Amino acid sequence: MWIRQDPSLVKRYYESASIPVNLPWKLSRKHIRIVTRDGRFIKLNTLRNRINSKALWRLCAKYAPTHVCMSVLDYLSPEKVELSSEARHAYPVGGEYVVDVDNSLFRGIDSHEHPRTLVCYECLEIVKKYTIRICELIEENYSNIIIVFSGVRGFHIHVLDFQAGDWASFDGHNLFKSHKAARFRYTLHLSRMLDTLLDKSRFTLSVDPMKAIAVPYSLNASTMLVCRPVGSRIDLERKSVTKILDEANPALLIWPVKAISEQHVEFQ
């Protein structure tokens, strides 16, 4: 069972959750934005404020966002990234490759009676198999891979040792163009080896360097589940969907055992 969406509960999560440390993601190099309950995008990077995990959690406690997103690219000046530009002036200095795997990849292929809920156990079981298969293909070229539960319908595969120069000639005058070309070629390479092609939105997410992905350990307020790292492909193989969902449930952080026990005594 998942707790209902409530801004006060979202705020309580960020106030109570341990601030992530030793993350492999360089948050200070990321363009970070949040989505508010009324659908507004708020850019958190400013010239005087490079975001780290402590600052990000503090801002999330303030705004109680529905989603917290970060760029797939790392930037020398992330505060110069604009939603409508190609971010060349922000000077990309690297970044990961990401595949978003969810149930849109197999709808109509592996059919089953789909419940009217955001989270479906059977879908996640199928998505888990697809994620493992895609990771096996990626491991033919890369080794530093972290899988993150999206907080709703699937998993995000983060390839941290991806380099633009692996798949495209590096243009020192237009680094953004090099990153885009490399991602296009590698995504096309993966798509050709998969049993089912990546759909347009998944393909675009992996190709477009301007796309953003959920920040690991942030809360997906649509389901009130944490976008929690699972680990490597082997870790994903060993964990059941039930275990993954249990670990992503923040209920004990929002309602600590002590507080629950005190409430129980009051009702006796």
What does the pLDDT read at residue 144? 97
Look at residue 263 and tell me whether its pLDDT is greater than 70: no
pTM of the model: 0.87
Residues 125-181 pLDDT 10s: 989 998 999 999 999 999 999 999 999 889 999 999 999 889 988 776 778 888 889
Q: Which domains does the chain have, with CATH numbers?
A: 7-262 (3.90.920.10)
What's the chain's average pLDDT?
83
pLDDT, one tens digit per residue, over 19-41 is 888 889 988 899 999 998 888 88
Q: Give the per-residue pLDDT at 259.
A: 43
**Total length of the chain:** 268
Supply angle C-alpha 92, 212, 133, rounded to 5: 105
* DSSP β-ladder status, 92-95 and 73-75: antiparallel
- Taking alpha carbons only, the member of 7, 28, 26, 30 closest to residue 210 is 30
For 44-98, how does the pLDDT look when each residue is reduced to its tens digit (9 = 90+)? 887 666 788 888 999 999 999 999 999 999 998 888 887 545 566 778 888 899 9
**φ, ψ of residue 265 in degrees (nearest 5):** -65, -40
pLDDT band at 196 (very low <50, low <70, confident <90, very high): low
CA distance 82 to 56: 19
Query: Does residue 266 carry a pLDDT above 50?
Result: no
For residue 2, pLDDT over 50 is answered with: no
Residue-level pLDDT at 119: 82
pLDDT of residue 168: 86
